[in-house]
Structure 1
Amino acid sequence: MYASVIVQISSKNVDRLYTYKIPDHLKDKIQPGSRVFVSFGPRMIQGFVIEVSQHTDLDPSKIKEIQKVMDIEPVLTKELIELSKKLADYYVERHIKVIEAILPAALKMKSKSVLKLSNEASLEAVNQFKQFHNDKINVKNLTMDDLKLLIPFINSKDIYEEKEFEQHTKMKTRRGIESNYLDARPSSRAVKQIELLELVENKGPMTYESIEEEGYSIGIINALVDKGFCKKIDILVERDPFEGRVFYEDKKKVLTDEQARAFKAINQSIQNNTHETFLLHGITGSGKTEVYLQVIEEVLNRGENAIMMVPEIALTPQMVNRFKSRFGDDVAVMHSMLSHGERYDEWRKIREGRARISIGARSNVFAPFDNIGCIIIDEEHESTYKQNERPYYHAREVAKWRAEYFNCPLILGSATPSLESYARSEVNVYKRLELTKRPTNQTLPTPEIVSMSKEREAGNTSIISRNLDMKIRDRIEKDEQMILLLNRRGYANFLVCQNCGHVPMCPNCDISLTYHKSNASLMCHYCAYEEPMPHACGVCGEHDLSLRGTGTQKIEEVLRDTYNVDIVRMDIDTTRQKGAHEKLLKQFEEESVPILLGTQMIAKGLDFKNVTLVGVLNADTILNLPDYRANERTFQLLTQVSGRAGRGDIKGEVVYQTYNEDHYAIQLAKNNNYREFFLREMEFRKLARYSPYYFHILFTVSSENIEDVIKASSDVHKEIQNHVSKSSIIIGPSPSPIERIQNKYRFQIILKYKSEPELFDVLHKLDTKYSINYQKTKTALRIDVDPEYIM
């Protein structure tokens, strides 16, 4: 038997299957999806078995054998293997990079060389080996003097070298005991020993911690072990990211008529085992989550599994709370803020069938279920579902492929769907289900638009308008809460010299440095370059320096000084540590902190009954970006954050502060008129020939040498032009909006196309060419299929 193996080397040169012979003693253990160790050139490396076959066209005498298999059960299912091939092809990626994205990092293997004593070793060799006080010696720990002593015995084969392999993250164990089940008991006087022995025999193996919790001391444990009634063992325990949390039971709700119609349509697809994509278009607070919960209940009743996607880690705590309260231990959680160990244990719960629902952000789409009954993507419009580093996959597209494979429904939920999804629902590619009312018949707040230009004319130079200031003071007086959104972190946007106009720039990127007051530094948000806040201008030497623009740090300071209240701030800077999102949201809710201030991570999905005011401090932040989706993202952000207000018994209020009060994205967000926005924006997209009328591919060429960038960009442009039809549109090459990042110049080309049958062959050839070329010139080509941003 032979195995086709993809080796774990991230190089285009070896991005193909290699044939290895399966030795007789491993024939029953190796299956497609198994991790194996193989000899590749002069080294031993990990690989993944993709196919197993009885025959090969190659010369069997020249085929190497697989050295070791790492798994009893394969880590990749048949479906995930097929998915990895499809992803690698569509997103122009190395196959092994896709497999690495699918699997948790904990499954990565590491090897070490050890020295062991041969069974026929001489007495002299035995004595020399014993000086190291171990049954094996790690070669890495040996000094040159140690090696000199051992080399004669290695040459004589008394001592031999062997490779040992272990997983990056091991399963967690704790010390415990189990009964030896002897037909005897301790002395009748040893009452506690008898009690503990009977407890262990009834419960099975127990950890020392659990025994101590039952009231038995270490001395009693040791007495049972010393007398032979029990033996010490290592007991496997799982890392629980929600250890110590209590989840109170959440009862099934009675659905409204609209919710019931949506549920019925989706349930019919579940019962008929048919694949359909549903767009659940529901206003904020319309009860989409309750529909999700009842759909998943139907799936579980059929013995199938469910994947629940959320766009931000910030949304995970509240969603997990809802699902754990309804489904208990059937829920596993997968997101990047878990430790390697926690993520691995959650992954194993899914793979072993001990969890039937997986909740998490983007990578959760790869949850290793082998019997999926539905996939749900909440806030499906969010750009965070697109991976911004290799492989550049979009979770929504991956979910479509998986749902098709399992013949199950895919549910895309949003109050502000992406134009692409809504356009597909217009032509019945997706089935649209509408939720137009909140279950409690609460009315949506009607936002007020405040012109900040007029505020300045009236003499108010603060970032807080007079209208918003009045409403903030009113909420503080009434002990109600509010959410304030500013989609820019840091303290100030940039520093400027009032004398000569110099603005400190990042030395690695063509972008100004942002001031962060917490550590008195200027920081680049692209490459993380950081330098101390200067006391004088670096050009003219004057001390007349001024901070311009406003970030969340500065607003927090202004709010504290103005209103003298506690504030919870949520942005990238305050949520870097594990568990920070949950901790901050819990503090806001349980301590009734008056103000939650943050970037766009607080704009969606959050449900706080006491929040009666939402203020958007600068509605123009995204609107001014050089990206064709800027209008759409502005409308979505404003509509989503408005929905955080008035979810309890008190009607909510919303204030948009803007310098573009007449822009249709802001006016239509005020009126919560998605339909009208869709029609207006589609006119622009059609005229400008952007998605959803065209597909896009973004090519970005980068190098430290500008001449190499220009030359390579021209070459890529020529190659594309020679292989696409005249109906396609090529824009560029031209400098990227931010021309230099991390000391690399960047040029880009945008391809707009409708149908190009040969295109992906050309993309793979370009990727191969520049992967090889990179070794010589360090000129890189990034190919982003279906980009979210063109910056």
Structure 2
Amino acid sequence: MFVSVIIANSTREYDIFYDYIVPGNLEALVQPGVRVLVPFGTGRRLREAFVMEVKQESEYKELKQISQVIDEIPVLTPDLITLSRYMKKRYVCTYDLAIRCMLPSGLALLYSDEAVVNAGTFENLTPEEKKIFDIIADHGGRLKIDKLREIIQMPVEKLLNGLENKGAVKIVNSFQFKANAKTVKVAYPAVESDVFQELVRDNSIKSQNYIRIMEILYDEGAVAVNELNMLGFSNTVLKNMENKGYISFIEEPVERNPVGELDVVVTEPKTPTSEQKKALDVIREKIESGAFHEILLHGITGSGKTEVYMQVIADILKKGKNAIMLVPEIGLTPQMVSQLMGRFKDNIAVIHSRLSMGERYDQWKKIRNGEVRVVVGARSAIFAPLPDIGIIIIDEEHESSYKSDRTPKYDARTIAAARCKIHNAVLLYGSATPSVENYWRARTGKITLVEMKERTNKNPLPQIIPVDMREEMDRGARNELSSVLIRELRKNKEAGEQAILFINRRGYSNFILCRKCGFIAMCPYCSVSLTWHRPENRLVCHYCSYSSVLPGNCPICKSDKLQPFGLGTQKVEEVVSSTEPGFSVIRMDFDTTAGKRGHQAVLETFRKQKIDVMVGTQMVAKGHDFPDVTLVGILSADSLLGSGDFRAGERTFQLITQAAGRAGRAGKHGRVVLQAYNLEDYSIQAAIRQDYHEFFSHEIKLRYELKLPPFYQFGLILVTGKDKEKVQKLAERIHIDITRKPELNHGVLISAPAPSPVSKIKGSYRWRILLKHQSIKRLGSILEWVNDSYNKKGYKDCTVSVDINPANMV
């Protein structure tokens, strides 16, 4: 018996199938999807590999044998093996990177090589070899090599090789799973809060990462290191903080509960409205066909899409099949989990990036062992190892968060379609504001369209009150809260109702400007202005986390004319809380939800403690259902229009419509105050009328004229590096080489190389080339050639990355 494997942690150069012989004693254990240890290259250590195929013959001679089988049951299901092949080609990555998306980090192997003394007498040992031999013997004849290095304080590889060649010792490769550890490394503050805050005020601490980590630790007492890693804080940063005496580490038991304490109310299926029934009939018809189908459920906010989802899932379970439900934000996961548990009890698993390593491993294991049949989660849940998938549901399918910005830069919607094709399952997209691309596919008959145009409570959509902020400023308004919004907030307060204020910017002010010389505080490592966070009195870069104390005087002209400009969530929170007659306010943004269950804590506080106003970024605009919210204020509604992204109009319409949809979802009438300086833009006008079809008809004409998706697809080539001139030259060389290859570029529209809109991030300069073509396959061929040609040793000073239909064009 033979196997074809791919080697874990390999580059694209070595990312191919390798054949190995399966020894007779392992034949019963080997099957596609299991991991094995194999000899590879010249090193002593065995390499982890994934079995992709099992076969009876191999075309290659003089093959090595696999040494060990790691898994009792395959970690990769047959459809995930097929999916890894698809991802390697579509997203220009390695098999290994594709597979890493599919498996929890807790399955990773921790190697621990040991030196074991052989029986017998050995006279021909050198003094150094004899010393090592005696140390191993004194430790029971078996000693971990890492421990041996600690004891003798010198390299041991050459000496162990000599001992092994002379038959005195043998080296044993051993391993354990990361998630098997009974404890987890936890960080906790090593200095008192007031001492640390004094260091911050003195500007002795310049890293915003240090400040944010300490804020989290002071709030929560202690936090697992892997959770801090998930929040973007590296082990290097944490180690530096330990060395400086700010934090310490201890080992504590692993927490395994993925959802904490949820309010779960058991529910029965509701009698569907006439529109829900029509939608269910169409979906059930496609399910019964037993073939792959895509359906777009376009339902206005409050039309009851979630009830449709749950009834369809129940149908799938009755047929003996399984379901995956994706939501765009981790903040929406607790709400959806609570609803699904109320209907399907403990038959669900949860997967998202904020789970600890142990929790994620436990959830994956439950799914793989067939203990649950419904999986809910954010983007990464699309790789859940469920067999017999009957339906995949993607809620708020228009959200850009379904597209990964890390290699492999996969789109969960595309992955869902690939998995549904393999399983002959139904893929159900749901949204009140569908993506232009998917709605075009539905309008042209490529996928099925189902629409729900009424709210289940029969209430009309909330009234939208537009406010021209130019007129407000002419009337002497002193802040970004219009007189109309303040009036409506006071009405809500008197009625005992709640409000949500949406501003898509965190921090206090967008930038700091000297009104005398025009100086703007910029990040020294990124080509963006620093945002002022007033509570900490810090200027912060939202791209690289650099921070500094706000200077008292302008560093250029030394005047005292530094002034904050613009609006962020912190400033809105301050203004609202100080407005008569006094409002209780809670804020929901990245800074207040950094803890493990930060989203859940903020939402539950707002719901249970009857807070008057919740201020937040776009995470408050999506999918939440608060029965007492009757007012939504949308501040700076036109802020996205100048972003330079071709999707700016679409995202503006979607955010306004989604945010407005949070108002009046129960029996009470909802109102929306929409503030903007540019009310004339077509996307804002369509949002005021809450008319998706009006928006779409205007947008699709623009897309056609400008050769944009869905008519053309985008390819992005991004060159980054510390040397600005080298980055520019490499981008120009790539452009020349592409244009000289007609077999690649036929029919492809190729932009000239140019700096990216944000031309420097984290000290790296950024140049890009944009490609457009109707065929993703043609773009993929070019991007694959560019990736493999220019990510070589000769270009080590620059990095070339590629992407298809990127979610972010900056």
Q: TM-score range by the shorter chain?
A: 0.7 to 0.9
Which amino acid in 1 is paired with 2:103?
L
**Higher alpha-carbon deviation: 493-502 or 448-457:** 493-502
Report the counterpart of residue 770 of structure 2 in structure 1: 750
User: Is this contact kept in 2: 1:113–1:140, CA < 8 A?
Assistant: no
Instruction: Provide the C-alpha distance between the structure 1 equivalents of 2:776 and 2:320, rounded to a whole number of angstroms.
Output: 42
Q: Distance in 2 between matches of 1:510 and 1:468?
A: 35
Work out which of the residue numbers 45, 48, 52 in structure 2 matches 1:46. 48
Q: Partner residue of 2:83?
A: 83
Q: CA deviation at 1:759?
A: 4.4
- How far apart in 2 are the matches of 1:492 and 1:716? 40
In structure 1, which of residues 730, 733, 738 is the aligned counterpart of residue 753 of structure 2?
A: 733
1:66 Cα deviation (Å)?
1.5
CA distances 1:530-572 after superposition (whole Å, capped 9, x unpaired): 2222222222233321111111112111112224332121111
| Equivalent pair of 1:700/1:746 in contact (CA under 8 Å) | yes
Aligned to 2:781: 761
The amino acid that maps onto 2:570 is Q
Q: Partner letter of residue 172 of structure 2?
A: E
2:334 to 289, 296, 317: 317
Contact 1:115/1:139 (8 A) holds in 2: no
Q: Deviations over 1:145-179 (max 9, x none)?
A: 388999798776454331211112217699xxxxx
- 2:115 corresponding residue in structure 1: 115
Partner of 2:58: 56
What per-residue deviation string (whole Å, max 9, x for no partner) do you get for residues 387-434 of structure 1? 011111111111111111111111000000000000001111111001
Superposed CA offset, 1:191-239 (max 9, x none): xxxxxxxxxxxxxxxxxxxxxxxxxxxxxxxxxxxxxxxxxxxxx9992
Answer yes or no: is 1:777 the counterpart of 2:784: no
Deviation of 1:138 after TM superposition, in Å, equals: 4.8
User: What does residue range 252-267 of structure 1 map to in structure 2 within 5 Å?
Assistant: 252-267=269-284
Would the alpha carbon gap of residues 330 and 171 (structure 1) be closer, same or farther in structure 2, given more than 3 Å must change? farther
Q: How far off its partner does 1:523 sit?
A: 1.4
Cα distance in 2, alignment partners of residues 243 and 463 from structure 1 = 38
2:543 is equivalent to residue 512 of structure 1: no
Of residues 727, 744, 756, the one that matches 1:709 is 727
2:552 aligned counterpart, secondary structure: coil
Does structure 1 retain, via aligned residues, the 8 Å contact 2:502–2:615?
Answer: yes
How far apart are the structure 1 equivalents of 2:521 and 2:477? 29
Check whether the contact 2:322–2:388 (CA below 8 A) recurs between aligned residues: yes
Paired with 1:697 and 1:412, the residues of 2 have a C-alpha distance of 24
Larger Rg: 1
1:255 alignment partner, SS class: coil
* Pairing 1:524-563 to 2, within 5 Å after superposition: 524-563=541-580
Change beyond 3 A, Cα 1:355–1:134: farther
Secondary structure, aligned partner of 1:472: helix
Relative to the length of structure 1, the TM-score reads 0.88
Task: Pick the aligned partner of 1:400 from 417, 423, 428.
Answer: 417
Give me the whole-angstrom Cα distance separating, in 2, the residues matched to 1:608 and 1:148: 63
User: For residues 79 and 595 of structure 1, do their structure 2 counterparts lie closer, same or farther at Cα, with a shift above 3 Å needed?
Assistant: same
Aligned to 1:450: 467
Q: Which residue of 1 aligns with 2:597?
A: 579
Other structure's SS at 1:655 match: strand
Structure 1 unaligned residues grouped into runs of 5+:
175-235
**How many equivalent residue pairs?**
727
1:21 equivalent in structure 2? 21
Q: State the identity %.
A: 40
What residue is the counterpart of 1:66 in the other structure? 66
The CA distance in 2 between the partners of 1:743 and 1:756, in whole Å, is 32
Q: Is residue 365 of structure 1 aligned with residue 382 of structure 2?
A: yes
**What RMSD, in angstroms, separates the aligned Cα atoms of the two structures?**
2.4
Distance 1:145 1:709 in 2: 46
The farther-off stretch of 264-273 and 540-549 is 540-549
CA contact 2:721–2:766 (8 Å) conserved in 1: yes
Match of 1:684 in 2: 702
How far 1:80 moved relative to its partner? 0.4
1:638-657 equivalences in 2 (<5 Å)? 638-657=656-675
The answer to whether the aligner puts 1:274 opposite 2:284 as a matched pair is: no
SS of equivalent to 2:766 = strand
Map residues 200-599 of structure 1 onto 2, 5 A cutoff. 239-245=256-262, 247-563=264-580, 564-599=582-617
Residues 697-754 of structure 1 deviation map (CA, whole Å, 9 limit, x = unaligned): 1111122222222222223223333335664322221111111112222111111111
Match of 1:168 in 2: 178
Q: Distance in 2 between matches of 1:148 and 1:393?
A: 42
Letter in 1 for 2:68: K
In the TM superposition, what whole-angstrom CA distance separates every residue of 1:269-307 from its partner, at most 9, and x where no partner exists?
A: 212212111000000000000000000001001111000
TM-score relative to the length of structure 2? 0.86
In the TM superposition, what whole-angstrom CA distance separates every residue of 1:475-531 from its partner, at most 9, and x where no partner exists? 112211000000001111111222321112111111111111232221111122222
Q: Is the 8 A contact 2:257 2:359 kept in 1?
A: yes
Answer yes or no: is the 8 Å Cα contact 1:494–1:514 preserved in 2.
yes
Counterpart AA for 1:329: D
Out of 373-382 and 732-741, give the one that drifted further: 732-741
Q: Following the alignment from structure 2 to structure 1, what is the Cα–Cα distance between the partners of residues 155 and 462?
A: 80
Aligned counterpart, 2:195:
none
Q: Partner of 1:37 in structure 2?
A: 37
AA aligned to 2:379 is R
Preserved CA contact (<8 Å) 2:457 2:667: no
Cα 1:761–1:126 change in 2 (3 A) is closer
Q: Distance in 2 between the 1:268 and 1:460 partners? A: 57
CA positional deviation for 1:381: 0.3
Alpha-carbon deviation of 1:346?
Answer: 0.5
CA distance in structure 1 between the aligned counterparts of 2:439 and 2:531, rounded to whole angstroms: 37
**What is the DSSP-based 3-state SS (H/G/I as helix, E as strand, rest coil) of the residue aligned with 1:732?**
coil
User: Does structure 2 retain, via aligned residues, the 8 Å contact 1:455–1:461?
Assistant: no
Partner Cα separation in structure 2 for residue 583 and residue 256 of structure 1: 33
Single out whichever of 378-387 and 708-717 deviates more from structure 2. Answer: 708-717
Q: Deviations over 1:337-365 (max 9, x none)?
A: 11011011111111111010000011111
Contact 2:715 2:779 in 1 (8 A): no
Taking structure 1 as reference, are residues 750 and 420 closer, same or farther at Cα in structure 2, changes over 3 Å only? Answer: same
Contact 1:171/1:238 (8 A) holds in 2: no
1:249: Cα distance to partner? 0.9
- Cα shift at 1:325: 0.6
Q: CA–CA distance in 1 between the matches of 2:782 and 2:748?
A: 15
Are 1:658 and 2:665 an aligned pair? no
Q: Secondary structure of the equivalent of 1:623?
A: helix
Contact (CA 8 Å) 1:12, 1:771: kept in 2 or not? no
SS of match in other structure, 1:613: strand
Using the TM superposition, give the Cα deviation of residue 245 of structure 1 relative to its aligned residue in structure 2, in angstroms. 4.0
Label 1:646 to 1:718 Cα distance change in 2 as closer, same or farther (>3 A): same
3-state SS in 1 of match to 2:439: helix
How far apart in 2 are the matches of 1:347 and 1:493? 41
Question: Who is 2:210 aligned against?
Answer: none
Cα distance in 2 for residues equivalent to 1:477 and 1:238: 43
Q: Which amino acid aligns with 1:554?
A: K
